[in-house]
A and B are shown apart, each in its own frame.
Chain A
């Protein structure tokens, strides 16, 4: 071991140094906690605000930070001496995945196709609803949104903080057209995609000459404008109250009801609400795979190559004669179109939509999925969506924690807290995302994976 080389005296010094750092971090934590944790505000019965001292929570926070910082400092010192730092993944894991990505894709696809059957077998008919709906459908919606936004952010490099606007356009187009004109899901699905793409063009046209941070803020502004208009224009969208009673999708004309002409009766099955969920699961699976297929194929077309070139160096693109406005607009409106598809599916699945579902936080979550997964990587997006959305859904399942921390401990309260923290930590740990290597689409003789250190601006 590398530690053998160090003398006891040096180890002593290391220890003192680590202790000092930990004490400093603990002191800072104490300072941070003083006002905001040490006193909780609460309204008493007379509706007056009173303070509850909570010094035990402060002590816990300080102790956790002290121990954590101490261990981190020790680990950093041992890393400095030798190469004993623990790797999370054995060397070459990612390379292995990349070489066999076709196999893994097929395996993943097979799992996704059989997931409802597996869930029913494992959890029974009653328990499977939760797994297919909360985990399967919910995660797939975010995977699809992630892949859609991946076209804009990952391939074309345009940071879009208002993606949820197109999701809202899709959802409201489906809800309003289905309710007011009685059109079916299968007509409205492409229609809402087209409408969203159209909005993408309208919004994209003026703003796409901005770059980087400015573009991000303008798209955020547009996202908020659309939401605020939906809230305030009550004649059109029914405001905060939202739209309820949206027609549910049918199985090519056969509704999923307990009636005589319902799905179960027609196929001679016993009625169960699970059929609709399974149907919805396969619909969103097909939509997500369509998104993946289109973006994979587009990467190999001239327009896809132009997107990636644009992401790396806009000035070089312009001097090579690429029409940057058109290139950006195609990416923006294609991404918006997939957002619209997902939106109309969302409205059909929920049966109720309100502006509350389209807040900025949703955009941030989708963007986080794309960026944390590794921009441009479909696998990365899927993994990040499973980890982020599945992880937060899992928090709902942690009832046993109540036995440790008492009855009023609610793990779901910490959902977004952990989410935000994870965004920061993953950015620091891997600024290029979880899967940061890239597969080239154009190559000479042999395809080589581009490692993450080369994936900098101008080298990817």
Chain B
């Protein structure tokens, strides 16, 4: 029982990171029907940006107020990652809108290779560790055999995720911006006839996806304390799995899928074997796509002739 509760906490932490990345996939797929293959690498890039800002801030102001520093890092990382994703959309995807079906996907794969190697070239191929932070933890169940605790890191990650998801939910559901976005998702041509600036809306979608990926990047850095240029691929694929599992195009689905993937991964490592945890994630992806392609909360896709 204690083991289960502890793994539940760990799984929720990991799952919220996946969920944040998954939203980027699901929004872009919903609005332009494309798998944004480079999104995992945008996440990795954001972790690097966060690392650099974290070091700058702690060099300039000292490492005293860690929470304040983290808030600044979060804002800066969100801004600069959004700028990156905005540029990527502008340069690599927009010219291909209306081109043949596979062109944007190939372009995204190229972008993913580019980003990964760009970071490798400018920051070097080695692991980049930062000094551990927020190390204390709260004891939840005081048991002699297996004490259950939640660390400050995990509290910070879960709370930040909930707060930002709430803000994001408000943005999509209640503001004119979100309305334009949902309109484009349903019917791009009709939305543009009714005066929605489709190009601008798509740009904003990419910016929002990147901002949430940046949150995930900061949280990843806080959780593991180390980042590497190749770290984008596997979390990216897992987050995509999460988006598909939750039903691609559905925002609550992405979060739900992320939490499920995180829980499954952690439970698999705890109860079976840690070696095959990535295999488990990929198997889920294959099984879900083959047997329930519309996911848990997604609408089934109707093929029109």
Contacts and interface: CB of A to CB of B under 8 A. Distances in A.
A212 interface: yes
Interface string A433-453: 000000000000000000000
Interface residues of A, number: 60
Which secondary structure characterizes the binding site on chain B? helix
A331 to B, nearest CB: 16
Contact of B283 (A48, A207, A210, A225): A225
Contact of B282 (A36, A41, A228, A414): A228
Interface string A408-447: 0000011111011111100110011000000000000000
B285 A159 contact: no
Contact of B286 (A28, A31, A51, A218): A218
B279 A225 contact: yes
Contacts of A417: 114, 117-118, 120-121
Interface string A352-396: 000000001100100110010000000000000000000000000
A94 interface: no
A40 B124 contact: yes
B59 interface: yes
Contacts of A432: 100
Nearest to B33: A213
A456 interface: yes
A412 to B, nearest CB: 11
A424 B275 contact: no
A260 interface: no
Contacts of B35: 213, 216-217
B18 interface: no
Contacts of B8: none
A137 B76 CA distance: 49
Nearest to B284: A221
Contacts of B52: 35-36, 39, 41, 51
A368 B122 contact: no
B107 A424 contact: yes
Interface string A33-52: 01111011111000011010
Interface stretch (B125-133, B148-156, B181-189, B254-262): B125-133
B1 interface: no
The residue in A419, A421, A424 that gathers the most chain B C-beta atoms within 10 A of its C-beta is A424
Contacts of A221: 237, 282-283, 285-286
A423 B237 CA distance: 21
B268 interface: no
Nearest to B103: A431
A236 interface: no
B102 A424 contact: no
B83 A32 contact: yes
Interface string B264-305: 000000000001101100110110011001000000000101
A210 B285 CA distance: 13
A32 B279 CA distance: 35
A292 B118 CA distance: 36
A229 B279 contact: yes
A32 B68 CA distance: 24
A161 B285 CA distance: 14
A371 B106 contact: yes
B37 to A, nearest CB: 9
A327 B75 CA distance: 52
Given A214-B289, A424-B92, A367 B109 contact: yes
Contacts of B124: 40-42
Contacts of A115: none
Nearest to B59: A51
Contact of B112 (A28, A315, A420): A420
Interface string A200-221: 0000001101101110111011
A240 to B, nearest CB: 12
The residue in A34, A35, A414 that gathers the most chain B C-beta atoms within 10 A of its C-beta is A35
The residue in B49, B106, B107, B128 that gathers the most chain A C-beta atoms within 10 A of its C-beta is B106
Interface string A47-89: 0110100000100000000000000000000000000000000
Contacts of A457: 100-101
A12 interface: no
25 contacts: A32-B83, A35-B76, A36-B123, A40-B122, A41-B55, A42-B124, A49-B51, A57-B122, A206-B290, A210-B290, A213-B33, A224-B237, A228-B282, A232-B276, A361-B113, A368-B106, A413-B121, A414-B121, A419-B117, A420-B110, A420-B111, A420-B114, A421-B110, A424-B107, A427-B107
Interface of A: 28, 31-32, 34-37, 39-43, 48-49, 51, 57, 159, 161, 206-207, 209-210, 212-214, 216-218, 220-222, 224-225, 228-229, 232, 315, 360-361, 364, 367-368, 371, 413-417, 419-424, 427-428, 431-432, 456-457
